[in-house]
Every structure is written in C-alpha cells, then in structure tokens.
Amino acid sequence: MKFFNFFRKKNSRQKKFLGFLIKERSAVIIMMDADSDKRLRILDQEKISFSNGWDNIVEDADEAIFKIENRTKQSADEAIFFVYSHLVDEKNHDIKKTYLSKIKDLVRNLELKPLGFIECQEAVAKYLEKKEDVRLTAILIEFDEGSLGVFVYKVGQLSFSSVAPRTDSLTNDLSTVFGQAKEKTTLPSRIIIYNSKGLDDEAAKILTHHWQGDLFIQLPKVEIIKEETITDALIEVFSAQSLSETSSAPLPEKKEEKEVLGFVINQDIKEEGFPPPVEKKQTKKHLSFDFSKLPHPEFLFKGKLVIPAFKSSRKIAVFIGLFLIVLSVLINEIYFHKVDLTVFVPTDNVEKELELTAGVDGGVDLALKISTVSADFSQSKTTTGKKDIGTKAQGEVTVYNFNKEKTLAKGTVIESKGIKFALDNEVKVASATGNEGGRFPGKTNVKVTALQIGTESNLNKGQTFAIESLDSYFYYAKNESDFSGGTKKTVQTVSKQDLADLDSLVMRKVKEDGQGKNLPVSANEKIINDLTQTSLDEKKYSKEVGEEASSVALSARADTVYYTYDKPELVNILYGYLSKQVRTGYILPKQNISYQIGKVKEEKGAVDMKIGVKGIALKDVDKGKILELSLGKDKDKLTQIMKDNFAVSGLDINLKQPLPIPFLNNRLPFFKNNVKINIQTL
C-alpha cells in the first residue's frame, strides 16, 4: 500500500475525498469525509461501467462525480485509488504503465490531487485480521472479468501471490496456481473469494471439485465476501492510515517532493513526460446564467422608461452608470442574493417499550399480509458412498461319510480357512463299508457356491472342508479341482448423507441468491424477518441411495413465506403512544420516530410483537416569525437574535452573494422568497 500524509495541515473545513475502486471494465466512485474523530465515512457512491474500455474513463468518471456532487451538495479535490491486483506490476509493485497513463489523464482533467493507491487484497486481509482479532491464515482469491488473483497468507504474512488470466475452467486455473503455491508453502484449508457480484457458482465449483490429495491437508471451506464488505475494508484501511499519519508524522520544515502514481504531491505536475495542461471544458457541473432570459417583475418598470435629455454627454454617462448600478443591485437582490438558514433547536428524547398484537385477520393492533415467492433451483455434488460389487466363486467338492447314510440339504454350509460355501443341491451320501479290519467311506460329489463375493473364495484344489453341525471325524469334504469365478471391486454410490448435503447446498443457494432477503414488497411495506421461512418442495434426486454413481443432483422448488406490515400504519400507532409523553412546547415529527422490533412470537394466527420505540421531539418554533426577523439582518448578529427570541441551540448560515457590494455582503436577503429555513437538531 502506498500512502502519503494528507492530514498534516489543519483546516476548519471538513475534508472530502473521492475514492476510486477500479477494476478491468468498471469502477465505483465513493465520496467520503472525515468525522470529528477523523474516521472516514461514506457520503455517497456511484457505480460506472466503462463505455469504451479505459479510453473514455475521464468522461465516465466525470459523469458519475457530477451525480454524486448533485446529490450531496459537496465536492472533493483529493483522490485515493483502490485497485485490483492484476492492474499492479508484480515486480515493482506500481500500477502498470498502460493503466497509469489513463489515471494520470483522469487526475489532470478532473483537477484532482492524488494521494496514492491501495491494493484490494491487502485491504481485505487487514480488515479480516482486525475483525477476527487473529493473524490471517487463508487463501484470498480475487475475481475480475478476465483475471484471477491468488494470495496465500500464513499467520498474517503473504507467503505466495500470483495473478493469472481466467479461462472457461475455473478449477483448471486454480489447480495450476495452487500447484505453484504448493511448491513454496502449505495451503490453508480456508478459501476466501470476493468480487463486486455474486460468486455462488464459483464457490460451488471449488467446494465440489476433487483436488489433488496432496494440495490440502483437509477439504477446503469457501467463504464469500460481499461487495459492501470490500468497500468497508478499503475505507477502514484508508481511514486507519490517515489516523496514523496524523498522530505520528511530524510537520516537516520544508516540503518534500513525493510522487504518487507518477504525480508530485503538493507540487505542480512535472513538465517532463506530461502533455501540456488541457483547459478544463465547461460541463454541466458549472452553472451559467443568461441574463437575457430572466423574467422581468412587474414592479420594476411600470409604463414607459423615459431617460431625461441631457445637454451634457457627461451627465448622460453618469445617469446611465447610476441606472445600471441600481438595476444590477436590484436584479442581484431579486434573483441571486439567497441564504440557506439552518436553525438548530433543542430536543427532548422520548422512548417506550410496547407490546402489540398483529395478524392477518381483524381484532389486532397491526394488520399483516402473508406472501409467498417460489423459484426453481438445482445443485449437484460428488457422491461419497462406497459399495463392493462382484461375483461368487464356484466349484465341486467330494463329501466323505465314515458313518451311516446321511442326507445333506441344499444350502448346507461347508467351511475351509474361514471361507464359507453352500451346497447347490441336496445330496445323499452312502454309509461307510467294511469292518474293523478296514472301513471305506461313502462319498459323493456336489456343486458348491461361495457365500461371499471376492477373489479370496477362489481356493486351490486339495482343501478340506468342515460340514456345519457334523462331527468332522465322520463327515468332511474335499475339492479335487480349483474353485474359480470369484471377483470384487469397490464403486462410488449415493449415500443418505449425499442427499442431505444436497438439501443444505440448495437452501444455501436460495439464501445467497436473495430469495430470503430481496423479497418483492412495496415502498411502504416492511418484512418481519423472524417470521420468514423457506422450504423445499417437489424435490427430485437424479439417483437413489445405494445406486452406483459418481455424482448426484437435486432439482427442487423453493417456497419462501413472509409476513409484511405497512410502515406508515405502524408509525401512526407508535406516534399515538409517544405523543402523550412529549413536553409542552415541543412537537414530535413522525419522521423523527425510530423503532426496533424485538421478540416475535406466532401462535394461532396471531403474532405478538415486542417493539422498542424512540422519538426526538423538537422545540416548537414559528418559521414565519424566524423569517420576519431574518430579512436584511446582519449575518454576525443573527445568531444572537435567534437565541434571544427562540432559545435555539445554534445557527448555520449559508449566504450566497455573487456581487461584491460592500453594504450587502454580510446581510441576509430582503426578499422572503430568497430565504430558505430548515429546522434541524444538533
């Protein structure tokens, strides 16, 4: 970050700054000022899309600044630039020459004083550290139209950075950059992405992609920083720098030349390397008046204007001169001598805790309306279930019987080395023959099939099998040939957790797409957020639990039910309670009423609401009397006059007197139409 001491000189006028958040094809221009604690706050902002790339950046910015100044009635001549990292040269850490020349043109043509520039990723990192009160360990990913910036922070230190062009495959782009980063440092599992628009699709791609096993120690988590958070981060860092410069930098005895963006701070632009100054064109921001088009009040001239005939040309010149002076003063007083008079009156704060009953039917304090919005959503993810599939080994065994005749039922289990097989058919084994001098077993052959899949059931010939529940001394079996046919492999399948995760992903997408926030309401309607509920209906999964698949998808309809109330109606109700507490001599404007809905409980169609309400009552003053006492009064004496007659807290006089007329320069206008009175509080 490059900053300079822009708060060294004390100034009674509150400083204003223009912030330029510049990206590849668009920008946000922000008007800021410093409060009493020299903390920056946003007064207004305007987004622009470059009409012809960077070639028309001056015209585009001028139009946006004009709109901001029109709305805020403020202007600024100092500028700070916030830039995305792909605009900055990675070697010398300055803005690239191509963009720098355009920014020079912008500063010169708009007559701005440049203070420096801040890289967005550094500001975001500092902001997160301050917010979370811990050294940042994460991967920041900065998205722009055609560029991708990746920045790896480890315990607050930037250990890797890279800016690369974007292609149609985000995961391929990131895999390349992550691979480069992995050679230099271990990658944190926290990923933070940001841009000025939604990044839901990008976040889903990062979450569901199968990254190489050695890239991350654990599956990465993705967070999205919203546009307003980026703006807050930039203003926070800029504000903090301004405070540090104010408190720590001593005022130099001699000004030093310091260059920012190629400009010299507190000096004229260097002649070498810059084109000659361009005369600033008159734009719509500069008011001009065509006196020929001014209306002519009836009381100025009634009948014909007769100029006396003077014999002396000198007398004629004196008369004409005096006439023109009087006419100029009169026109100035009628049309241009104006004042904005802001009267600050004492206030009285009133507040109350209320309990109201609301509902969609009658018999309640506040009427509610129930609405529903629906939208279709879909989401997919990689499956995590696993299942073994394969075939069972088969073969033939010879059953030996050293006892009396025995019948073995189909399915009788035999076992060898812990591997079990079942007889394919019922078999009768003859009894043994012979006497004590020698016994010969009865025997017969039978087909068997393994009870489990897998190659381990492919036994070699010559194995001895025990027969379930039979004494192995009298009964056993052997295979005279090898068993075969046993196979097994593991495949991906859909698990119950996969379907539950899909539900969660779709609900998250519903919320991030704004269905639960940007609900359709009229200008006067307000939503009771605690009663808003979203559910998924008509869910259709592409696969069933246990089905072999590498991915599974869900399509569903999201229904959001929300309650709204009419804000003016609620304010009228609250006014009825608060107005009873206002002191005599004070009035409570309805626009000065604020409220906070606390605990909300719904039961049997009725909604019980706890509301904290506050109001700022103003001392009741007569605008007509203030106007009468103000006409033609000396500006320096008017404050005391107002305090004596109305006990006001203060006065702000914005006097507009274009003609340098000595006896009128410090006086308020003499015509009522030229006095505008505003009643405010300190």
Q: How high is the pLDDT of residue 676?
A: 93
Vertex 268 angle, CA 263 and 270, to 5°: 60
Q: What is the pLDDT of residue 612?
A: 93
Residue 242: the pLDDT is: 60
The predicted pLDDT at position 452 comes to 94
Overall pTM > 0.85: no
- Residue 436 pLDDT: 66
> How far is C-alpha 187 from the geometric centre of its chain's CA atoms?
25
Half-sphere exposure of 230 (CA within 13 A, CB side): 29
Q: How far apart are CA 25 and CA 28, in angstroms?
A: 11
Please name every residue paired with 342 in a beta bridge, in sequence order, or none if there are none. 652, 678
For 36-66, what is each residue's pLDDT tens digit? 666 788 889 999 888 888 888 888 889 999 9
The predicted structure's pLDDT at residue 567 = 92
Supply the pLDDT for residue 13: 53
CATH 1.10.3720.10 fits 16-264, yes or no: no
Give the domain ranges of the chain. Answer: 16-264, 298-336, 338-345+621-680, 407-485
Task: Give one DSSP letter per residue of 359-411, joined into a string.
Answer: ESSSSSSEEEEEEEEEEEEEEEEE--EEEEEEEEEEEEEEEEESSS-EEE-TT
For the chain, list residues with pLDDT below 50.
Answer: 1-12, 245-307, 309-311
435 is written with which tokens?
């006497």
Q: For 392-425, what is each residue's pLDDT tens digit?
A: 999 999 999 999 999 999 999 999 999 999 999 9
* Closest CA relative to residue 397, chosen from 466, 488, 472: 466
